[in-house]
Amino acid sequence: MSGRAGARGVALVLVLLLLVLLGTVAAVVIGSTQTASSALLNLRARTLARYAAESGVVEATALIERRLMSASTPAQQVLAFGELERELTDLQDVTLGSARFGVAIVNLNGRLDLNRADPAALTGLFSQFVRPELAGAVVDALRDWRDADDVARPEGAERDAYLSAGSPFLPRNAPLERSHEFRRILGVTESLATAVEPFVTLDGDLRLDVNAASEPVLAAVPGIGPSGARLIIAGRRLGKFTSIPQVLALLSRPGAGTGGTVPLAQLVVSPSRLLVVSRGWSAGHPLTHEIQAAYALIAQRLVLKSWRERDL
């Protein structure tokens, strides 16, 4: 009997071990299944979010082109874009099946281009947020970051300066591709980058829309300055400008205090560059997908110039 009891005891232990092993295997299988299921849900949510965002771009560009086709003169374009701003409220939160999207449009001619703007204008903009000497150094460092050589400007910075400062970044010797690159340039503080972000772009064409540019941007432009910027802002409150001669007449009044030559060729009254920012998301999921599509306005049509995507 003792032999049989011992055998039964061993068998029982083996059975218990087998049950524990099976339980562990089952837990691993269930965990793997849950992980795979979660990954599948995330993939589905991201796919829905992306296509919702893309649908937002399609809706916005169709709306813009409809407005452009109805405007053949600069004055008509000014009115058309005024109506467009009101119509965009319908695209701020749109249901698309189980997904949603929201769209905003940015007039890039209301901003200074970090890659192409006149250095004096960039210095004028940065000087509104930091000391003028630091602003000049940042502009020199920005130009050194963009140019193809390794010769530093008087207040700039090239490869050796970044290495000496222990920076994890080195100049690209090429134009900035994404806005966050500006933060990598020596001399650019987080507070400066944050302050100028609403006033700069990487997709401009050197034209400045007097109906859209903010006071800091207008004040930075040589020939307009702070006094001219205040005059333009005050003039816009009475109604948008429909021609550049209106602006020049305003700036040339006695006592305007603008000084210098106004960059006539750069001034416009309606945009020639637009940025469509569309965000899509799946209902009940935290992931949001953003598309930033920059367009040039050519002969009443939109021509894609750049396309950037990211998950938020």
pLDDT digits (tens, 9 = 90+) for 189-230: 999 999 999 999 999 999 999 999 999 999 999 889 999 999
pLDDT of residue 15: 41
What distance in Å separates the CA atoms of residue 214 and residue 232, rounded to the nearest whole number? 10
Fold of 43-110+272-311: Pantoate--beta-alanine Ligase; Chain: A,domain 2 (3.30.1300)
Nearest to 291 by CA among 34, 59, 38: 59
pLDDT of residue 21: 52
Q: What's the Cα-to-Cα distance from 48 to each of 62, 94, 292, rounded to whole Å?
A: 21, 14, 17
Could you tell me the residue ranges of all domains in the chain? Answer: 43-110+272-311, 112-202, 206-266
- Burial status of residue 238 (CB atoms within 10 A of its CB: 0-12, 13-18, 19 or more): exposed
Paired strand residues for 288: 281
Residue listed under structure tokens 């374009």: 77
Taking only the tens place, the pLDDT of each residue in 14-47 is 544 544 454 554 444 444 555 656 777 888 889 9
Report which listed range, 8-12, 89-93, 254-258, is most confident: 89-93
Q: What's the Cα-to-Cα distance from 170 to each of 30, 111, 148, 187, 268, rounded to whole Å?
A: 47, 26, 13, 13, 37
pLDDT of residue 62: 94
Task: List helix spans (H) across the chain.
Answer: 2-69, 74-87, 119-126, 132-146, 159-164, 190-196, 215-220, 225-237, 244-251
Torsion-angle region of 276 (φ positive above 0: left; ψ -120 to 50: alpha; else: beta): beta
Task: Report the interhelical angle of 74-87 vs 2-69 (nearest 10°).
Answer: 150
Compute φ and ψ for 288, nearest 5 degrees. -125, 135
Q: Which CATH architecture has domain 112-202?
A: Orthogonal Bundle (1.10)
pTM here is 0.81
